[in-house]
A = this chain, B = another copy of it.
């Protein structure tokens, strides 16, 4: 006999809190074993993911997406550059910028990490069906702030349908 208090929307929000916690936990866990083998953390994975998704992006752009400080990113990015997973090139238009790309081995690593999360997510989407995915996408987009939505659109995350 759970929460029978509150409005319908209150109960919906409580449910959603649980859904977000468990789904996000298991989604991120999917890549953890591999990350530990390599000796990297989730922060490194996030950086690899977004650099792979937006090749040639600047450090500022990555900072804006991750919403962490320059000093926090420095450690992570330093590790990735040192170990040869990420390359930095001077910007053409603005030579102060460092354009970030994955190296060949960085792309290979990202691919292996991607495979883990693919194994977690793809069966879920198959099971739930395309209409459910459309609803999922609509809700997730509505939850995030407008700036994140435009980042998504800029990245070419058009409805995959």
Contact = CB atoms under 8 A, between A and B. Distances in A.
Given A23-B144, A136-B140, A143-B124, A3 B117 contact: no
Given A17-B117, A135-B135, A9 B157 contact: no
B20 A140 contact: yes
Given A17-B117, A133-B135, A9 B142 contact: no
A121 interface: yes
This protein's copies in its complex: 2
Contacts of A8: 160
A151 B128 CA distance: 20
Give the size category of A's interface with B: 35 or more
A106 to B, nearest CB: 16
Interface string A97-137: 00000000000000000100110111111011101111111
